[in-house]
């Protein structure tokens, strides 16, 4: 049985972008609010249809010297075009982007994870320096 960590993918699959792209500053001051967004399909749109979509994005921060990361937040995407008329009949489609803020006194790594209902778990990361 594979370990859960081995199920996280970090490469693009074919021409679609599944990896969450993290937009955050490279540096922050201690105690300063850091704004983060994680977007799936930033450069090449990911399909957002009833049968193929991103279900959620979660953002974590792992401070240097600490054993575990902290979950900053998680956003679930619920509208993928389905309605009482059937699949892809609604005019409402969510866009897989999560925006969150946090503050820290330590440098570390920001991680984002996303889940595609067809292609599984994906991860992205970005270093954050703190002074």
Q: Where do the domains of the chain lie?
A: 20-130
Catalytic residue among 42, 62, 119, 126: 119
Span 61-85, mean pLDDT?
A: 96
95 is catalytic: no
Residue 64: pLDDT over 80: yes
- How does pLDDT run across 2-17, given as a tens digit for each residue? 888 888 877 654 445 7
> DSSP per residue over the chain, as a string?
---GGGG-B-S-BTTB--SPEEE--SEE-TT-EEEEEEESSSSSPPP-BTTB-EEEEEEEEEETT-SS-EEEEEEE---BS-BTTBTT-SS-B---EEEEEEE-SS-EEEEEEEEETTTEEEEEEEEEEE-
116 is catalytic: yes
- Is the pTM higher than 0.85? The answer reads yes
Catalytic residue among 16, 42, 62, 126: 16
46 is catalytic: yes
17 is catalytic: yes
Catalytic residue among 18, 53, 80, 97: 18
53 is catalytic: no
- How does pLDDT run across 10-60, given as a tens digit for each residue? 765 444 578 999 999 999 999 999 999 999 988 888 889 999 999 999 999
Q: For residues 130 and 19, give the distance between their C-alpha atoms in angstroms, rounded to a whole number.
A: 25
Q: For residues 70 and 63, give the distance between their C-alpha atoms in angstroms, rounded to a whole number.
A: 8
- With beta carbons less than 8 A apart as the criterion, state whether 122 and 8 touch: yes
Fold of 20-130: Immunoglobulin-like (2.60.40)
């Amino acid at each position: 049985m594979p370990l859960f960590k081995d199920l996280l993918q970090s490469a693009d699959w074919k021409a679609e972008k599944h990896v969450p792209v993290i937009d955050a500053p490279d540096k922050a001051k201690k105690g300063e609010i850091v704004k983060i967004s994680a977007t799936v399909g930033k450069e090449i749109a990911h399909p957002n249809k009833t049968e193929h979509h991103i279900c959620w994005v979660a953002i974590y921060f792992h401070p240097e010297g600490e054993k575990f990361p902290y979950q900053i937040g998680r956003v679930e995407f619920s509208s993928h075009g389905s309605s009482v008329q059937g699949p892809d009949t609604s005019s409402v489609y969510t866009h897989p982007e999560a925006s969150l803020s946090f503050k820290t006194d330590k440098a570390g790594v920001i991680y984002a994870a996303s889940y595609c209902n067809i292609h599984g778990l994906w991860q992205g990361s970005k270093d954050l320096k703190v002074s």
